[in-house]
Amino acid sequence: MKRRRSTKMGAALLLVAAGVAMADATPDHYVNASNPIENEESPFDNWAIAARSIQNAINVAAPGDTVWVTNGTYNSGGDFFAGVTNRVCITNTIRVISINGPAYTTIDAFWPTWEVRGAYVASNALLAGFTIQNAALAGATEYGAGVLGNGAASVVSNCVIVGNQAYARGAGAEAVTLVKCVISNNIAGFQAGCAVEGEREGSG
């Protein structure tokens, strides 16, 4: 538990880099894909009863809460929003942060058919520290396969957005502010890497 505490503090620095204020009094929720299913228990407020999917924890988080995600590949769960299923769907003002960063924590949107987005991030929400991969959108007006936001106040920080596809544009990211992200090997009809309506700081 000591390691988790220290890495959690390190992950919290991402919030400062992204310009998102911390609030120590707000509740935390925890996600661990390896947690035995019989131990999973809402509201997932400690590691022993952590959610197995990121979306389960998001669904019980109130505005201002933080969802902490430990190592693993998260390829199940999600919610329907903005026209498609999103593997991770953040629709209120919360923070979703991985403990150890994108080298260890992956949001995988893989589906046998098209029409799964990696993540949707609402205004004044934060998604930080993930690899986001294998999303695919087939619609001519569906943008942001890896990540879709709602403009500059939707913040994605320290993420690797790779291997996503969109028929139209923004295979990597659309309508978000990117902070220290890597965008690579995304395929779209045009603007394959990103069509960012917010701001961009990073590479790829």
Each residue of 153-173: b (16+ CB within 10 Å) or e?
A: bbbbbbbbbbbbbbbbbbbbb
pLDDT at 10: 55
Backbone angles phi, psi at 98, to 5 degrees: -80, 150
Q: Which two tokens stand for residue 164?
A: 């996503």
Per-position pLDDT tens, the chain of length 204 = 434 444 564 555 555 455 455 445 568 999 999 999 999 999 999 999 999 999 999 999 999 999 999 999 999 999 999 889 999 999 999 999 999 999 999 999 987 667 899 999 999 999 999 999 999 998 877 889 999 999 999 999 999 999 999 988 889 999 999 999 999 999 988 766 665 554 455 444
pLDDT at 170: 86
Asked whether the whole model's pTM tops 0.95, one would answer: no
- CB within 8 Å of 2: residues ≥ 6 apart: none
Question: H helices of the chain, where?
Answer: 2-17, 54-60
Domain interval for residue 115: 2-203
CA proximity to 102, closest of 121, 127, 76: 127
pLDDT at 15: 53
Phi-psi region of 39 (alpha: psi -120 to 50; beta: other; left: phi over 0): alpha
Q: Which two tokens stand for residue 148?
A: 């879709």
Amino acid at 161: I
Amino acid at 27: P
How many structural domains compose the chain? 1
Query: How many Cβ atoms from other residues are within 10 Å of residue 23's Cβ?
Result: 12
Which residues are registered as beta bridge partners of 160? 131, 182
User: What is the distance between the alpha carbons of residues 198 and 61, in angstroms, rounded to a whole number?
Assistant: 25
- DSSP annotation of 152 reads T
> Do 31 and 50 form a contact (C-beta atoms < 8 A)?
yes
